Amino acid sequence: MARRVNFELTDKVVVVTGAGRGIGKAIAEVCAEYGAKLALGSRTLEECEATAEVCRQAGVEAEAWTVDVSNVASIRQFVDNVLERYGRIDVLVSNAGYNSPKPALDYTEEEFDYISDVNFKGAFFIATAVAQSMIDRKIPGSIITISSQVGIVGGPLRAIYAAAKGAVGQFTRSLAAEWAAHNITVNAVAPTFTRTPLLEKAVQTNPEFAKNLQKVPMGRLAEPDEMAAAVVYLASDAARMVTGQVLAVDGGFTAI
C-alpha cells in the first residue's frame, strides 16, 4: 500500500516575510492551521503582531519581528532572531514584495533600485541566509519565494517588477540545483491578481492596470488563501521531490 500523503506542517518552524497583510497574512494563518510554528516578519510590527496573535489563537507558537528585506543587515538580524527563538528554520516563505505600477518611461533610478532591492535582492539574500542555517544544522528544508505571473509573461506598467520577479524564477532554478545535495528544496509561487489591499489600491488609481484583470481566463480575482494552499503543499513532506519549480496559481493567465 502506498504511504499516506502528508500535507501537515506540525512542529515545522515556518518563516513568513510580509506577514502583516494580504497574501503573507493568509499564508501565516493557513500554515498555523496545519500546525506550523510561525516566525513572522514585516516592516510594520503592529500588523505583523496582529497576524501572530491570530496564529496563536489557532493553538501554535508565533512570534513577530520587524524586518526590512531591502536591507541585508536587517535580513540577517531577523534570521538571527528567529534562530535564537526557535533554534532552527524548516521553511522560508519569502513573501515580502513591492510594486508601483507606472509607464516605464516615468520610473526614476530610486524607484528602480527600491523595487529591485525588495523583490530580487532581498529575496535572494534571505534565501541564502536561511539556507546557510539549514546546511549548518544538517536539516532538510524548503525555501519558497512568492513571485508573480508577470515574472513569467511580463506585463505593461510593471517593467521593473516583472524583471525582478523573472530573476526570482532564475535564482529559484539555480539554487534548487545547488542545494539539492543538502536536501533543501527551492520553489516559487507565481500568483495572478489576488484580492489584497495593494492590488485594490492599484486598481483604484490606475484604470489601465484595472483592464488587465479582464485577461484572467477564469474570470475572477484569486483569493489570498488560494496562494496559501500552494505554499502549504510546497512546504509539506508531500512535495519533497518538487524543486526548482515556479508554480503559477493564475487562473490560466500564463497559459495564453
User: Among all residues, which ones are annotated catalytic?
Assistant: 161
* Separation of alpha carbons 151 and 148, rounded Å: 5
Going from the C-alpha of 115 to that of each of 33, 42, 47, 120, 131, the distances in angstroms are 32, 16, 22, 8, 24
Residue 127 in grid coordinates:
534565501
What dihedral do alpha carbons 130, 136, 141, 146 form, nearest 10°?
10
Biggest CA-to-CA distance, the chain: 60
DSSP string, 71-123: -HHHHHHHHHHHHHHHS--SEEEE---------GGG--HHHHHHHHIIIIIHH
| 13-17, strands of its sheet edge to edge | 62-66, 37-42, 13-17, 91-94, 141-146, 184-191, 246-249
Total residue length of the chain = 256
Going from the C-alpha of 46 to that of each of 14, 30, 35, 215, the distances in angstroms are 20, 20, 23, 36
Which residues, in sequence order, are CB contacts of 205 under 8 Å at separation 6+?
none
